[in-house]
Amino acid sequence: MDIENSSIDTWTIEISPNKRFFKIDLKGLWSYRDLLAMFVKRDIVTIYKQTILGPIWFFVQPIMTSLTFMFVFGGIANISTDGIPHILFYMSGLIIWNYFSECFIQTADTFSQNANIFGKVYFPRIIIPISKVISGLIKFSIQFVLFLIIWLYYYFQDNVLQPNYFILLTPLLVVLMAFIGLGLGVLFSSITKKYRDLKFLINFGVQLTMYITPIIYPLSEIKSNSLKLLMMFNPFSHIIEAFKYSFLGRGEFDIYGLLYATCFAFFVFVFGILVFNKTERNFIDTV
Amino acid sequence: MSEIILKVENLSKIYRLGEVGTGTISHDLNRWWAKIRGKEDPASIVGQVNYRDEIAKSDYVYALKDIDFDVKRGEVLGVIGKNGAGKSTLLKIISQITSPSSGFVKAKGRISSLLEIGTGMHPEMTARENIYLNGSIMGMRKHEIDSKFDEIIEFAGCIMYVDTPIKRFSSGMSVRLGFAVAAFLEPEILIVDEVLAVGDAEFQKKAIGKMKDVSYNHGRTVLFVSHNMSSVQHLCSSCMLLKDGQLDSIGKTGLIIDKYLKINKSSKSFKRKNNFEEIYVSDLKVISENKDSINSGDNIEIQLFYDSIKIDLNSNYEFIVGLWNENSADQFMLTNNYINKEIKLKNKTGCIVFSVKKIPLNNGIYSINTMIKKNNICMDFQEQVFSFNIENNNYYNSGVSYPNNYNGIYVDFSMNLL
């Protein structure tokens, strides 16, 4: 046994006061992948414990919201849906938007929700937000299957729908939503852990953003130039419109807009992760 | 075996006093500004040592200051100190829950911290699911849990309830389940805070036994924080004493425990009394014939000092000294009543001496309660005013003493063959 040699420079863990901003321990993260799987399982399994319908409840929420929208915006306010069947129009926007808001709201209170665990045991904190994004993806997939069923029904029923090859972009759109949701979420969680003011804005902000995103109305309906500019500035518009265009054949698909949204998502994601990475080390002292 | 597995260098941790809220941003900006100019953190200049009884001179305080020590492979290091001495902060830094303000910790291998039992368990999930969840949180891989699953269930004693949600468990059962998972962790360094304080006596025994097994038979390193001196004495080969956030001393367990008890003795809690009635115990000393330590079989003197605002020349006073062991079980009681000795006081202050020949107690930590009665009416009663350590050393002058796990008392006896 060559203990003398091995005892020099073989520290596997070094704890120091300041971690460099860009240093992210991917290897450490990888060794905790089983924990990630357990957290996802916990999120999914515990939702429908002691219910009769179980995961079917995941269907109910988008259907109910779509029906409400059909009634309020389609029926009473009579907002155009570009000739698309109402249920499809609202659902297409809603499920992908819901995925974002799920990712964002769930990750935005990472620190306050998990203060108890974080105070007792170490693991890379980013595991928790990532697990929320993955369990959100599972819920999204279930809702997406529901959407596909309704979509197929209308596709064979009448030929209003004009799907196209841009459908292949769907995974990218979902990833973009996840990146923005996660990036903003961890950024907000890092700020709110010390200054709690922001948390009052989160739900409100998500709702407000939803209304300036073409979910309940088509982008083509916007005539005012300044509003149009706002819509163009909003990266979600491009993602939602791209989704609607690829499946329904209506909407304003703009490849540069999508590129802008991609850059935005990437930037928010990287920035959020870096800030989170910096914050996680001392959070327990200030929470 | 002398390989150093954990190294702590110049470790300090600063906390802000007062409330986080208003003014925090300006504080933060202040520190940040100093940082980008490459100056020292203003907090660490003004931070004061953690004397909690004094009025704060600055907004920042050192919870830990310049801690330095090494731990070798297979060593079980006890960490003792009064409440607020920085024990938990130290453990939190080593287990990476919070980061130090300055200094370094270096370690080889995995560190698992057991600051709580059953962290992250979810009441809606079954025992099986929770074992996997809790195990993963503690840093185990799935295949490790797979291979130990049966043992864990057996250790927890809940084979029958494997697929029952733990919200249906009794609280004791969930604690056992949590501990069972922790017991099968295999980190190179295990950090244990006073988790053993929960659970019944049998469970504590099992837990201590398991920890001993882990360190002696598997060569694991354990850092153990406890206020229970007998657990520390049984478990730890060496010990460190923290005082006001600073490392007071580190060394052999017996010596450090003695030192800790001496610190306790001189603590301010003893000097009390604005509201005593007439007479009270103002100080207490235990003196042994061999100056430095008290051993079984020594002749000892317990000196009880009293102070009073008035004394009654005609009344009968009774001075009582009672000894507790660490579990607060009575050992013996000394009073002038038992030996029909009347005590008439003449002075307002004074000292009563109790002489005990060949103290028959085994090694351990003992504490003293005192009471003063006047005409059978209690005037003053104080619990655990003084603690001391008795070392097991040759009661019979034969070089032979009780084995370590035997807790009985000694008696003076002789034997003859008739």
DSSP per residue over B109-126, as a string?
S-EEEESSTTTT--TTSB
CB contact under 8 A, A15 and B105: yes
Chain B residue at shortest CA distance from A49: B124
Output the CATH code of domain B4-8+72-262. Answer: 3.40.50.300
Whether the predicted pLDDT of A177 surpasses 70:
yes
**pLDDT at site A5:** 42
The answer to whether residue A148 sits within a structural domain is yes
Nearby residues of B209 by Cβ (< 8 Å), 6 or more positions away: none
On whether the CB atoms of residues B370 and B385 are closer than 8 A, the answer is yes
User: Is A7 a residue whose pLDDT tops 50?
Assistant: no
Tell if the CB–CB gap between A14 and B104 is shorter than 8 Å: yes
Is A261 contained in some domain?
yes
B99 touches chain A (CB under 8 A): yes
Two tokens at A94? 């809603």
Q: How far apart, in whole angstroms, are the C-alpha atoms of residue B225 and residue B113?
A: 11
Say whether pLDDT at A183 is over 80: yes
- The distance of B61 to chain A (nearest Cα, Å) reads 13
pLDDT confidence band for A3 (50 / 70 / 90): very low
Q: For residue A89, what are the domain limits?
A: 23-281
Tens digits of per-residue pLDDT, A16-59?
Answer: 776 666 667 787 788 889 999 999 998 888 887 778 877 777 78
Q: Where are the domains of chain B?
A: 4-8+72-262, 267-391
8 Å CB contact of A35 and B137:
yes
B74 touches chain A (CB under 8 A): no
Contacts of A14 in chain B (CB under 8 A): 104-107
- Please judge whether B124 and A286 are an interchain contact, meaning their C-beta atoms are less than 8 angstroms apart: no
| Minimal Cβ distance to B97: which of A13, A41, A284 | A284
Q: SS in 3 state form for B294-350?
A: EECCCCEEEEEEEEECCCCCCCCEEEEEEEECCCCCEEEEEECCCCCCCECCCCCCE
Collect all residues of chain A within an 8 Å Cβ-Cβ radius of residue B132. 38
pTM of the model: 0.76
> Distances in Å between the alpha carbon of B44 and those of A194, B26, B34, B197?
21, 17, 11, 35
Question: Does the CB of B130 have a partner CB in chain A at under 8 Å?
Answer: no
Q: Does residue A13 lie within any of the structural domains? A: no
ipTM, two decimals: 0.82
Tell me what pLDDT residue A18 has: 66
The pLDDT profile of chain B, 418 residues, written as one tens digit per residue, is 568 888 898 888 888 766 554 456 666 777 777 766 766 555 555 555 655 555 555 667 788 888 899 998 888 899 988 887 888 889 888 888 888 888 889 888 888 888 877 888 888 888 999 999 999 988 888 898 999 999 888 888 888 888 888 888 888 788 888 888 887 888 888 888 876 656 666 767 777 777 777 777 778 888 888 877 777 877 888 899 988 888 888 988 888 887 887 766 544 445 555 556 678 888 888 888 776 678 888 888 898 988 888 888 888 889 999 998 877 788 899 999 889 888 888 888 889 999 998 888 888 888 888 888 888 888 888 887 888 888 776 788 887 888 766 778 889 888 998 8
Q: What is the pLDDT of residue A1?
A: 37
Contact B225, B81 (CB under 8 A): no
**Contact flag B136-A11 (C-beta cutoff 8 Å):** no
Indicate the class that CATH gives domain B267-391. mainly beta
Q: Is residue A90 part of a domain?
A: yes
As a whole number of Å, the CA-based R_g of chain A is 22
Dist. CA A77–CA A71, nearest whole Å: 9
In a domain, A136, yes or no: yes
pLDDT at A226 over 60: yes
Is there a contact between B132 and B163 (Cβ–Cβ < 8 Å)?
no
Nearest to A16 among B104, B120, B140 (CB): B104
Best mutation target among B14, B26, B64, B99 (most A Cβ atoms within 10 Å) is B99
- The answer to the question of residue A76 being in a domain is yes
Return the CA Rg of chain B.
Answer: 26
Residue A28 maps to a domain: yes
CA dist., res. B80 & res. B255, Å (int) = 12
Contact A195 B24 (CB under 8 A): yes
The shortest CB-CB distance from A14 to any of B4, B97, B106 is to B106
> How many distinct structural domains can be found in chain A?
1
Question: Which residues in chain B are closer than 8 Å to A45, comparing Cβ atoms?
Answer: 124-125, 129
In chain A, which residues touch B (CB < 8 A)? 3, 6-7, 10-17, 19, 31-32, 34-35, 37-39, 41-42, 45-46, 49-50, 116-123, 194-195, 281-282, 284-286
* pLDDT of residue A2 exceeding 80: no
Question: What's the confidence (pLDDT) of residue A136?
Answer: 92
pLDDT of residue B405: 67
| Nearest-by-CA chain B residue for A47 | B124
B15 closest CB neighbour out of A11, A120, A285? A285
Angle between helices A127-157 and A57-69 (to 10 degrees): 60
Q: Report which of B185, B195, B190 is spatially closest to residue B155, judged by C-alpha positions.
A: B185
Confidence of residue A4 (pLDDT cuts 50, 70, 90): very low
* pLDDT on residue B25: 65
Note whether B230 and B367 are within 8 A (CB). Answer: no
In a domain, A15, yes or no: no
Kindly determine whether residue B98 and residue A281, on different chains, have CB atoms separated by under 8 Å.
yes
Among candidate residues A123, A132, A131, the one with its CA nearest the CA of residue A25 = A123
pLDDT higher than 70, residue A9 = no
> How far apart (Å, rounded) are the C-alpha atoms in residues A285 and A287?
6
Question: A219, A235, A218: which is closest to A89 by C-alpha?
Answer: A218
Confidence grade of residue A66 (pLDDT, cut at 50, 70, 90)? confident
| pLDDT above 90: residue A175 | yes
Look up tokens 């003084």; give the residue: B386
Rounded CA separation A275/A269 (Å):
10
